[in-house]
Amino acid sequence: MKLTWRIWVLIIALILAFLTIAPWGFLEKGALIKSVEKNSSAFTYGLRQGMIIQSVNGNSVTDINSYTNIISPLFIDNSTEQKLIIGTNQGEIILFTNNPPEITVGNIPATKIKSGLDLSGGARALVRPANTTVSSSEINDLIAIATERFNLYGLKDITIRPVKDLQGNNYMLIEIAGATPSDLQDLVGSQGKFEAKIGNDTIFSGGEQDITRVCRNDATCAGIENCGQTSQGNYACRFRFSIYLSERAAQRQANITSGLGVNLSEGSNQYLDKKLDLYLDENLVDSLFISKDLKGKVETQILIQGSGTGDSRNDAIVDTQKNMNKLQTVLLTGSLPYKLEIIKLDTISPTLGQAFMKNIIYLALIVFAIISIVLFVKYRRIKITLAVILTMFSEAFITLGVAALIRWNLDAPSIAGIIAGMGTGVNDQIVIIDESESKANASLSEKIKNAFFIIVGAFFTIIAAMLPLFWAGAGMLKGFALTTILSVCAGILITRPAFADMLKKIKE
């Protein structure tokens, strides 16, 4: 059978879609770097997000498990500096470190299709500035600041994008794979305004204006210590880390401390008569003694301390580390420009996402079987039935290819959009078949043209119906609208003309 140019277009589109979403991941071995801590030794030496680790000190890395098995035994004793020769897909990188590289690694994805939160699990929040209206440019600035804060706090696989509702209000949609709602609530629900005060006088605030550097990932100037059981039966730990003030902030501290007296003592140490009070969002976090040696002295290095608690020693260490990370992040980034309000907060478990995906696959197979049986019973021709099924699969495959090309996260609404597009495709193909078999006094080509007149009208109706969904529900249905539009566009431009030609060949 001679293939028409429309069928060739369909074949080429399917090949391109396959190349876009092909499971090339199984051909490449290694561990994918998903994130790198900023201001860490790993970042300094050149490790970057997206690199693939293929070897460590000559030992081959095939996946995340082999990477962990190689790295873990090297850092049982953190007092010994290790030389790491890390082979990546972009060349060798040499590190000298006492701790494992501050990176998050994962297995290389099997395909280029990105799964959304509904399938991978995590937390999602719809956020807007409280008691104020912001423009699109202002929400983009807020996203830039929030992204930096999340990255520094240690949360990974973050997607933050602007969305807008039908009234034109701007929101920020935050999705974090593997996170919990409390992680989002802690960082998004608070503005993160940090102030260090002596009495009513502010010495310094969080952000680059007053703080030039915050010690992180360095045991010489940051760490957790003094973990023990309290009189209440639970456990508590203390954290400490150094910060470095700007000259202006250090001078401000010298001017204020110069007027203080020395009348506090703890053991053999003497302190000034007022403490350095640390406030986060106007809540007192901790009060630190000020040594008498700092009276009137311009000192740029300050030691920040705090604590954490838990039912067990390990829980206390985890809580202390979390509190230290949060305080370090706020000191580095400063406060957010607005007090944020969480409009909607969701959490989805990875197990639920996997079950949902399995159910979608089972449902798709059942639907395909039912459609095939109905079409065969109606038309009694196996070739026509197979042509409809082939076209239906082609539309879905091309839509997935385009989604992978634009790196769209496929969530539940997106998958529903693909299914809706396939449904309209089957409906249009039935219209073509019925028109071709009508008893009207016209040629087969004329009958198919009449069918396409109906199909094109339905196409524009669907497009008009989908466009408002880009903004409805603050953009939460954007995935459904996008994949539906992609699917019907693939149908009207590629698959349905090809199906019409296949139908002609079958009838001939």
Q: Provide the domain count of the chain.
A: 4
Q: Which of these three, 335, 360, 387, is where a domain ends? A: 335
8-state DSSP, 262: E
- In angstroms, the CA 314 to CA 310 distance is 8
pLDDT digits (tens, 9 = 90+) for 150-204: 665 555 567 788 888 777 888 888 877 655 566 666 666 665 677 888 888 888 8
Q: For residues 133 and 167, is the Cβ–Cβ distance under 8 A?
A: no
Domain that holds residue 53: 24-107
The tally of CA atoms less than 13 A away on the side-chain side of residue 378 is: 13
In a domain, 112, yes or no: no
156 with 214, same domain? no
194-198, strands of its sheet edge to edge: 201-205, 194-198, 276-280, 283-288
184 with 203, same domain? no
367 with 490, same domain? yes
Question: Three-state DSSP class for 269?
Answer: strand
In a domain, 116, yes or no: no
- In angstroms, the CA 308 to CA 321 distance is 8
Provide the CATH number for the domain around residue 399: 1.20.1640.10
Residue 282's CB: how many other CB atoms inside 10 A?
8
In a domain, 501, yes or no: yes
212 with 178, same domain? no
Question: In sequence order, which ranges of 170-219 are alpha helices (DSSP H)?
Answer: 181-188
- In angstroms, the CA 190 to CA 382 distance is 63
Q: For residues 155 and 180, is the Cβ–Cβ distance under 8 A?
A: no
pLDDT digits (tens, 9 = 90+) for 338-373: 777 888 877 766 556 667 777 777 877 887 788 888
In terms of phi and psi (left: phi > 0; alpha: psi -120 to 50; beta: otherwise), the region of 504 is alpha
Distance of CA 506 to the CA centre of its chain: 48
In a domain, 240, yes or no: yes
Name the amino acid, one letter, at 77.
D
Q: For residues 57 and 94, is the Cβ–Cβ distance under 8 A?
A: no
The tally of CA atoms less than 13 A away on the side-chain side of residue 503 is: 26
Distance of CA 236 to the CA centre of its chain: 33
296 with 155, same domain? no
Torsion of CA 38, 40, 42, 48, to 10 degrees: 0
Digit-by-digit pLDDT tens for the chain (508 residues) are 578 899 999 999 999 999 888 766 556 788 888 777 766 778 778 888 778 999 999 999 988 888 888 888 887 766 677 888 999 988 898 888 887 888 878 777 777 777 766 666 667 888 888 878 888 888 887 787 777 666 655 555 677 888 887 778 888 888 776 555 666 666 666 656 778 888 888 888 877 778 888 887 677 788 888 888 888 888 999 888 888 888 888 898 888 888 888 775 655 567 788 888 888 777 787 787 788 888 888 888 888 888 888 888 888 888 888 788 777 777 776 666 677 788 887 776 655 666 777 777 787 788 778 888 888 888 888 888 889 889 988 999 999 999 888 888 787 788 888 888 888 888 999 999 888 888 777 888 888 888 899 999 999 999 998 888 877 655 667 888 899 999 999 999 999 999 999 988 888 7
Tokens of 295: 């009276």
207 with 313, same domain? yes
In a domain, 45, yes or no: yes
212 with 318, same domain? yes
131 with 276, same domain? no
Would you state the pLDDT for residue 226? 83
Q: Which of these three, 348, 378, 408, is where a domain ends? A: 348
- In angstroms, the CA 113 to CA 410 distance is 8
- In angstroms, the CA 308 to CA 227 distance is 9
81 with 214, same domain? no
Would you state the pLDDT for residue 192? 63
Torsion of CA 317, 318, 324, 330, to 10 degrees: -170
